[in-house]
Structure 1
Amino acid sequence: MGDVAVIVPTLRRPESLERALRSLFRQTGVADRVAEIVVVDNDPTGSAADLTEALRAVSPWPILYRHAPTPGVATARNAGLSATTAPLIAFLDDDEAASPGWLAALLKAQAETGADAVFGPITGRAPGAEAWLQDYLERFFGRDGPTQTGLIAEPYGCGNSLMLRATALPGRTPFNVAADQVGGEDDALFAALAARGGRFGWAADAQVEEFAPPHRATLKYALARAFAYGQGPSQTAAAARNWPGVARWMLIGAAQTAVWGVGAAALTLIASPRRAALYDRTARGAGKVFWMKGLEPRFYGSRELDRLNRAAARFRAGVR
């Protein structure tokens, strides 16, 4: 039996989910390594069940379906972990498509580096974006890294990753569900791993594509994400009660906001497409300053999240 489970959380993206799963079916060089693919359906109504069942017939490995009716990215990832006992866990998001050598490259990099968590590059795709924003958004949704496989000092996000369960994902619920609506659950996970002496690796050949759906391929969404990314260092320092560290990050953020904000304003006056990148840097700087609880953007959310939570409550109560 294989020693790797691939977890794919999903929320109402049937076409993207099918693309992600079919990309997993085409993986090469790992026939004896994959124990199962775990689809975690985060829709209260369980909308991914029929598609998952239909694709079982063409999957080279068992597909497990796990329903996590309370919407939230941390909840979904924890539910996926509870469905498998595999010692190695790979994560692929439902808006990603893996290259045929993806999983083999992650496994090879982990064996070579001994890292507790290994990450790979992402090519962003934003086919529905405005023309002037497309280059920026594709870089935003993408992920670059070293050209060579090896150990790295800082972690990336969970999408396109492989982790040793025993060291990187301890306990029954390693992802903090308090981050369900705002994200950042992987930042906290990796900060704790680093504090325990964990190591991070990079698999240069573990390539995936990430396809931004129309509602995300916008400047508003990207800047909200950039603001949240900026909050990360300050929030991590605050969680550790490292108040000098918080002050340092806030000062850095204030300087970034001022410098990049001026540049963004200048490029806006001439309608340069490059202004989007400076908006991004300004937002990240502001996030370091305004990191406090209650100021986090709600990506899974606001009215949509409230609606889904009400639906989840009705579902659990047996009311359709």
Structure 2
Amino acid sequence: MTDISVIIPTFKRPEGLDRAARSILRQANPCGLKLELIIVDNDPAATALDAVRGLADGAPFPVRYVHAAEPGVANARNAGVTAASGDFIAFLDDDEEAPAAWLCELVGEQRFHEADVVFGPVRARLPEAITDHRAYYIQFFSRIGPEDSGVIDHYYGCGNSLIRRAALPQRDAPFSAERNDIGGEDDLLFAEMERAGARFAWCAEAFVYEDPMLSRTRLGYTLRRAFAYGQGPSAACAAARHLPGILFWMAVGAAQFAVYGTAAAALWLVRAPRRARMLDKAVRGLGKLFWGGPFKLKFYGSAA
């Protein structure tokens, strides 16, 4: 039996995948945990196969290749979970890199608090050549949580997380295929686990680095993502058929757009440094208002 299965879903990112996978192969393991690395190739052409074979040669623990031929972020994650044999599942994205103590820190926090899910920080790294809106991009691609580790009353995203498999609502396909194109499949899962009484924890020491693609360090991309993030609460209430919740979040979105939109317009006129961040907040408000139907945005199934 495997103690921890580390899953890296990937789609046409050879350099990022190599960096992420090698960081897992370099993990410190003083307690002798039985590990496995599962790389899920979500490209129908199976372009990651040769790279995974190369990584498996001489690896300190099993490296397994899974081909999830049907594109979709939920499909990829579900394929990895189905293939995993571990009591715990750790997720790392293919644009992230984990320091050597990453798994040890997550496991220690999980054991101390008997947590069902442990989340850690994400620290964005940008090339020095990116100067416009640099602080905004770093904040956008980072995950900033509490300064101290401990039990938390909310959840974060799937990248950089450790999940107790027995706590999953479905053993082999816990992520909703309805979110294949737009993302947020992890939010739906963790919201369901929260309703079932799952315990979440934060490990401030279990950080990973994220290296966003250059094509994503532009406002055209980040504001579209901000709009989609804003849709999350309203869409979650719609999925639960909770009309009061939908109306509440739409009202919140309208207020956010009015306040932050006005502030963004003023800051943009004077070229203030925080103008992009304020516009981001306004766009998230719009997402809460326009959350369904033709306003759903597709982000997955593309390497850009």
- The one-character-per-residue Cα deviations of 1:123-163 (angstroms, maximum 9, x if unpaired) are 01232774122211111110111121111111000000000
2:2, 2:85 within 8 Å by CA — same for their partners in 1? no
Query: Counterpart of 2:283 in structure 1: which amino acid?
Result: A
TM-score (norm 1): 0.91
Query: Counterpart of 2:277 in structure 1: which amino acid?
Result: A
Secondary structure in 1 matching 2:206: coil
Equivalent residue for 1:270? 270
Q: Does 1:69 align with 2:65?
A: no
Query: Counterpart of 1:84 in structure 2: which amino acid?
Result: A
1:2, 1:32 within 8 Å by CA — same for their partners in 2? no
Once the two structures are TM-superposed, the CA of residue 59 in structure 1 deviates from its matched residue by: 1.9
Equivalent residue for 2:295? 295
Q: Does 1:201 align with 2:201?
A: yes
1:30, 1:103 within 8 Å by CA — same for their partners in 2? no
2:2, 2:87 within 8 Å by CA — same for their partners in 1? no
Once the two structures are TM-superposed, the CA of residue 2 in structure 1 deviates from its matched residue by: 3.6
Q: Which residues in structure 2 correspond to 1:9-48 (within 5 Å)?
A: 9-29=9-29, 32-48=32-48
Once the two structures are TM-superposed, the CA of residue 39 in structure 1 deviates from its matched residue by: 0.4
Equivalent residue for 1:226? 226
Q: 1:251 to 1:149 in 2, by over 3 A?
A: same
Q: Take 1:248 and 1:153, find their aligned partners in 2: how far apart are those partners?
A: 21
Secondary structure in 2 matching 1:231: helix
2:165, 2:171 within 8 Å by CA — same for their partners in 1? no
Equivalent residue for 1:311? none
Equivalent residue for 1:309? none
Q: 1:227 to 1:41 in 2, by over 3 A?
A: same
Once the two structures are TM-superposed, the CA of residue 170 in structure 1 deviates from its matched residue by: 2.2
Q: Take 1:16 and 1:30, find their aligned partners in 2: how far apart are those partners?
A: 27
Q: Take 2:18 and 2:106, find their aligned partners in 1: how far apart are those partners?
A: 22
Structure 2 segments unaligned to the other structure (5+ residues): none
Query: Counterpart of 1:4 in structure 2: which amino acid?
Result: I
Q: Does 1:247 align with 2:253?
A: no
Identity of matched residues, %: 48
1:2, 1:34 within 8 Å by CA — same for their partners in 2? yes
Query: Counterpart of 2:150 in structure 1: which amino acid?
Result: G
Q: Take 1:79 and 1:102, find their aligned partners in 2: how far apart are those partners?
A: 24
- The one-character-per-residue Cα deviations of 1:69-118 (angstroms, maximum 9, x if unpaired) are 11111000011111122110000000000011101111111111111111
1:252, 1:285 within 8 Å by CA — same for their partners in 2? yes
Q: Does 1:214 align with 2:210?
A: no
Structure 1 segments unaligned to the other structure (5+ residues): 306-320
Once the two structures are TM-superposed, the CA of residue 240 in structure 1 deviates from its matched residue by: 1.7
Equivalent residue for 1:115? 115
Secondary structure in 2 matching 1:131: coil
Q: Take 1:71 and 1:51, find their aligned partners in 2: how far apart are those partners?
A: 19
Query: Counterpart of 2:44 in structure 1: which amino acid?
Result: P
Once the two structures are TM-superposed, the CA of residue 30 in structure 1 deviates from its matched residue by: 5.1
Q: 1:113 to 1:294 in 2, by over 3 A?
A: farther
Q: Take 1:130 and 1:28, find their aligned partners in 2: how far apart are those partners?
A: 33
Q: Take 2:126 and 2:58, find their aligned partners in 1: how far apart are those partners?
A: 29
2:82, 2:171 within 8 Å by CA — same for their partners in 1? no
Q: Take 2:134 and 2:258, find their aligned partners in 1: how far apart are those partners?
A: 26
Q: 1:129 to 1:164 in 2, by over 3 A?
A: farther
TM-score (norm 2): 0.96
Secondary structure in 2 matching 1:115: coil
More displaced 10-residue stretch of structure 1: 205-214 or 129-138: 129-138
Secondary structure in 2 matching 1:201: strand
Q: Take 1:34 and 1:272, find their aligned partners in 2: how far apart are those partners?
A: 52
Equivalent residue for 1:138? 138
Q: Take 2:128 and 2:214, find their aligned partners in 1: how far apart are those partners?
A: 6
Once the two structures are TM-superposed, the CA of residue 169 in structure 1 deviates from its matched residue by: 5.2
Q: Does 1:106 align with 2:106?
A: yes
Query: Counterpart of 1:125 in structure 2: which amino acid?
Result: R
Q: Take 2:133 and 2:253, find their aligned partners in 1: how far apart are those partners?
A: 24
Query: Counterpart of 1:131 in structure 2: which amino acid?
Result: T
Once the two structures are TM-superposed, the CA of residue 244 in structure 1 deviates from its matched residue by: 1.1
Equivalent residue for 2:161? 161
1:5, 1:37 within 8 Å by CA — same for their partners in 2? yes
Q: Take 1:103 and 1:143, find their aligned partners in 2: how far apart are those partners?
A: 18
Q: Take 2:169 and 2:215, find their aligned partners in 1: how far apart are those partners?
A: 31
